[in-house]
């Protein structure tokens, strides 16, 4: 196997449409997003928002071939126009205000840059369609008897669009429209810069100011489709990374989604889970509502079975290019892990991890016996549950205490690895790496995030020319630990401000560390229980400053919410919501990957280190009552 990068870690923004389409794996998220309706795509950094938008664009649809592509293509029903973000939309507004210009002037120039950016993408899509569907070029005086559009039809359309958009193309062709709009972008940036530097006052009179994005694009596309004899055709703007746009642009676009559903133009917007659009008072702004106006899609998985299935498809889409992996499933390459327990499911795949035979059965029994020798609270638990370690342990539903043993087995292994012989003490720092190898663990750690998954597998496979499988556990765990530490280091350097509106004086990683250390202490030092807390609820005692730190953590995927975001665009508030640390931080804080009961965040933050850990948390009990029961049952 080549020592070159195994699965090519990627950032779809910098990749061509062909490169994105070559290994694209459609998921249920893609199906929810792709339909002919307005959509808001919410997800953390690296969650795959750009990939999904590029695959819905006309270029992505052209590049996507093969048997799996056709069923999806038939359901799209529109031409997608990919619109990448541009930080100039915001910096232009900021620079004008800093130079003493009226905010209204800054908003006008910022909107002009945004609208021109959108129209440029629309013109490029029309140009591409015209290239693939050439018009008839008739000699003068010859009648058109085919019903197909002619060169004269196309020129009339371009002239109409140029008038609508206030541009002067050098020729009446879609390509000239593209060139004219590129020139306009330069003009807008130059005019805004000169106005700021020369401190011009008074009303600006540039013709490009005040053009409405939705109307100008819709009317142009109606004219274009009429020329091509397809008046009922629909288009869709795919506005990527829209959280970087100024708040006034987000207001404008989100409000437009209420009215655009029955028109020529659909809107799909990608946003961070906690963006500036959620911090202003939306009442009275007639913004869209979920289900009625928009389909909101969240790029995180409450159902881990679905996430693992998606991870498997990502693996297979890329591993087929490597001869040593041909025909192999992920479990063949990485083995299995009985420690990747993320819920209490009793499906066949989950139960299969706990089929104790031979050496594995001996290891599990030894873990139980070793912990019982040094932990009196565990011995009391065994006595209360009437579990006799001198008997053979079985973890299937039909075995004596099978469900209980299966549920606590990973906890026993973690606690035994880190607990010292003294009461409430922890032993050395040697990590319990066995929990972070095997396919189930790798898939769980990736959270269904394709970039994270690819990064994990790349690191595992790039250390040697692997031809014997499964990959040795030390090689897996070393690679996983390396990736997780790099992620933790990134979080330590994350800025305490995002989008100019989410600001905190509390370092983001400090909050995460307090949470992770608290959970580890509850797992190792407190009285042994079947379900130690591994999740938290942001209660009312948590300060706004800490909540803002958590908002930034959400945007980076560092914490995962158990609930669906109630507001269009993500979470307007985190209070009352239940979260857990991302499993990508589990190896860093020495935690198992599982669902569990919760504790209030204020209790975590107020806990003092190196003190006995209380198992009682009245604040958490009150908070838990506000959580819907079905969230606990998933």
User: DSSP letters along 229-278, please?
Assistant: T-TT--EEEEETTGGGS-HHHHHHHHHHTTTSTTSSEEEEEEE-SS-GGG
**Within this chain, do residues 545 and 500 fall inside the same structural domain, yes or no?**
yes
Instruction: Give the tens place of pLDDT for each residue, 45-87.
Output: 888 899 999 999 999 999 999 878 888 888 888 999 999 988 7
What is the model's pLDDT at position 23? 83
Is 203 found in the same domain as 176?
Answer: yes
H or E segment to which residue 579 belongs: strand 578-581
**195 belongs to a structural domain:** yes
Asked if 71 and 202 sit in the same domain, the reply is no
Q: Does some domain include residue 618?
A: yes
Residue 616 and residue 512 share a domain: yes
Q: Specify if 335 maps to a domain.
A: yes
Helix, coil or strand: residue 296: strand
Q: Does a structural domain hold residue 187? A: yes
Check whether residue 214 and residue 67 sit in a common domain: no
Q: Residues near 450 by Cβ (< 8 Å), separated by ≥ 6?
A: 25, 48, 51, 314
> Which stretches in the chain have pLDDT values below 50?
1-9, 261, 281-284, 346-348, 358, 612-634
CB 578 within 8 A of CB 563: yes
Domain count, the chain: 4
Please give the structure tokens belonging to residue 182: 């590129």
Q: Which DSSP string corresponds to 50-102?
A: HHHHHHHSHHHHHH--STTHHHHHHHH-SEEEEE---THHHHHHHHHHHTT--
In a domain, 100, yes or no: yes
506 plus 594 within the same structural domain: yes
In a domain, 478, yes or no: no
Is residue 13 included in any domain, yes or no? no
Among 443, 461, 479, identify where a domain stops: 461
Same domain, 62 and 30: yes
Domain boundary residue among 461, 486, 512? 461
State whether 270 and 354 are in the same domain: no
On whether both 105 and 222 belong to a single domain, the answer is yes
First-last CA distance in the chain: 41
Domain co-membership, 183 together with 240: no
Measured CA to CA, the distance from residue 182 to residue 176 in angstroms comes to 10
Count of C-beta atoms within a 10 Å radius of residue 580? 23
Which structural domain range is residue 441 located in? 305-461
- Residue 204's pLDDT is 83
Rounded Cα–Cα distance for residues 254 and 85 (Å): 16
Residue-level pLDDT at 425: 57
Strand ranges, E, within 255-360: 265-271, 295-298
* Residues 91 and 212 reside in one and the same domain: yes
**Residue 340: per-residue pLDDT:** 65
Q: Residue 91's pLDDT is what?
A: 78
Residues 157 and 131 in one domain: yes
**Distance separating alpha carbons of residues 198 and 201, to the nearest angstrom:** 9
């Amino acid at each position: 196997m080549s020592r070159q990068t195994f699965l090519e870690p990627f950032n779809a923004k910098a990749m061509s449409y062909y490169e994105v389409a070559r290994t694209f794996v459609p998921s249920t998220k893609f199906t929810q997003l792709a339909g002919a309706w307005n959509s808001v795509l919410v997800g953390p950094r690296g969650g795959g928002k750009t990939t999904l938008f590029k695959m819905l664009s006309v270029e992505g649809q052209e590049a996507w071939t093969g048997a799996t592509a056709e069923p999806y293509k038939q359901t799209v029903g529109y031409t997608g126009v990919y619109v990448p973000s541009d930080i100039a939309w915001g910096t232009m507004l900021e620079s004008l205000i800093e130079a003493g210009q009226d905010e209204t002037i800054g908003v006008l120039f910022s909107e002009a840059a945004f609208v021109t950016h959108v129209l440029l993408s629309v013109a490029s899509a029309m140009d591409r369609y015209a290239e693939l569907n050439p018009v008839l070029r008739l000699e003068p005086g010859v009648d058109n008897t085919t019903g197909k559009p002619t060169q004269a039809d196309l020129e009339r359309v371009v002239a109409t669009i140029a008038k609508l958009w206030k541009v002067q193309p050098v020729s009446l062709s879609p390509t000239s429209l593209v060139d004219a709009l590129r020139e306009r972008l330069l003009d807008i940036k130059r005019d805004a810069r000169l106005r700021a530097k020369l401190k011009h006052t008074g009303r600006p009179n540039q013709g490009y100011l005040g053009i409405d994005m939705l109307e100008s694009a819709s009317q142009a596309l109606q004219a274009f489709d009429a020329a091509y004899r397809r008046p009922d055709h629909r288009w869709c703007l795919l506005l990527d990374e829209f959280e970087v746009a100024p708040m006034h642009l987000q207001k404008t676009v989100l409000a437009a989604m209420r009215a655009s559903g029955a028109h020529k133009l659909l809107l799909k917007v990608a946003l961070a889970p906690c963006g500036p659009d959620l911090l202003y008072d939306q009442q009275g702004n007639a913004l869209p509502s979920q289900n009625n106006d928009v389909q909101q899609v969240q790029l995180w998985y409450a159902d881990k079975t679905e996430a693992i299935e998606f991870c498997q498809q990502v693996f297979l889409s890329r591993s087929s290019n490597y001869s040593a992996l041909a025909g192999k499933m992920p479990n063949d390459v990485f083995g299995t892990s009985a420690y990747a327990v993320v819920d209490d499911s009793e499906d066949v795949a989950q139960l299969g991890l706990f089929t104790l035979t031979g050496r594995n059965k001996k290891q599990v029994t030894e873990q139980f016996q070793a912990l019982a020798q040094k932990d009196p609270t565990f011995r009391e638990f065994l006595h209360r549950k009437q579990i006799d370690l001198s008997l053979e342990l079985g973890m299937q539903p039909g075995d004596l205490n099978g469900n209980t043993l299966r549920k606590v087995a990973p906890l026993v292994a973690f606690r035994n690895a880190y607990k010292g012989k003294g009461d409430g003490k922890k032993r050395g720092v040697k990590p319990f790496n066995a929990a972070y190898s095997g396919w189930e663990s790798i898939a769980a750690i990736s959270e269904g995030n394709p970039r994270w998954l690819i990064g994990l597998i790349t690191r595992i496979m790039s250390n040697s020319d692997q031809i014997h499988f499964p990959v040795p556990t030390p090689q897996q765990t070393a690679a996983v630990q390396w990736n997780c530490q790099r992620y933790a280091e990134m979080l330590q350097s994350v800025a305490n401000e995002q989008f100019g509106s989410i600001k905190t004086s509390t370092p983001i990683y400090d909050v995460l560390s307090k949470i992770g250390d608290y959970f580890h202490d509850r797992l190792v030092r407190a009285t042994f229980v079947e379900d130690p807390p591994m999740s938290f609820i942001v209660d009312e005692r948590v300060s706004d400053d800490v909540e803002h730190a958590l908002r930034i953590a959400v945007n980076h995927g560092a914490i995962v919410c158990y609930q669906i975001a109630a507001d269009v665009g993500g979470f307007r508030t985190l209070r009352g919501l239940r979260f857990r640390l991302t499993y990508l931080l589990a190896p860093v804080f020495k935690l198992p990957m599982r669902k569990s009961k919760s504790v209030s965040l204020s209790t975590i933050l107020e806990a003092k280190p190196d003190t006995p850990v209380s198992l009682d948390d009245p604040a958490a009990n009150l908070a838990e009552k506000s959580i819907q029961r079905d969230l606990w049952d998933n």
